[in-house]
Amino acid sequence: MNKKEVTIYTDGACLGNPGAGGWAAIILFQNHRKDVYGREENTTNNKMELTAVINGLKALKFSCNINLYTDSLYIKHGITEWINKWKVNGWKTSNKKSVKNMELWKELDDIASQHKINWRWVKAHNGDKYNEEADSLARKAIIDA
């Protein structure tokens, strides 16, 4: 059976850093759309970016082929370049410091391994419809508590 083709747009937002934060993922499959989003009280923008991706992937019921769009280079570089080095180095950076947000990175690594993901970066606030909508949902999640 062929894997389902899915597109996911994610974004995180924070009022202050740290501060109240929100995250959102827009999942597109054929003619269907599912929005997942939430908030945390005392968090950072990078934690919200990671949480958005993790929860977007958790919302999928099957192993999928995914085009995942993020406006976070922290996510893009972290998952495509840095994570394998971190694992080899015992979750330490090249400066021998513990990886920030390590538990979230471990969770993302685990759930991402269940899918075939094409990680794509999109410039924020540049007119990409679904990136803008993910940003709006993440910001709305902060306010609507």
Judge whether 5 counts as a catalytic residue: no
Q: Which of 49, 56, 78, 115 is catalytic?
A: 49
Q: Which of 11, 38, 78, 115 is catalytic?
A: 11
Judge whether 115 counts as a catalytic residue: no
Place of tokens 């976070």: 72
Q: Which of 38, 71, 78, 115 is catalytic?
A: 71
Judge whether 128 counts as a catalytic residue: no
Q: Which of 12, 22, 38, 78 is catalytic?
A: 12
Judge whether 133 counts as a catalytic residue: no
Torsion of CA 112, 115, 118, 119, to 10 degrees: -20
Judge whether 41 counts as a catalytic residue: no
Question: Which residues 6+ apart lie within 8 Å of 51 measured at CB?
Answer: 12, 23, 38, 40, 104
Judge whether 32 counts as a catalytic residue: no
Reported as type and span, the H/E element at residue 94 is: none
The residues annotated with a catalytic role in the active site are 11-12, 49, 71, 125, 135
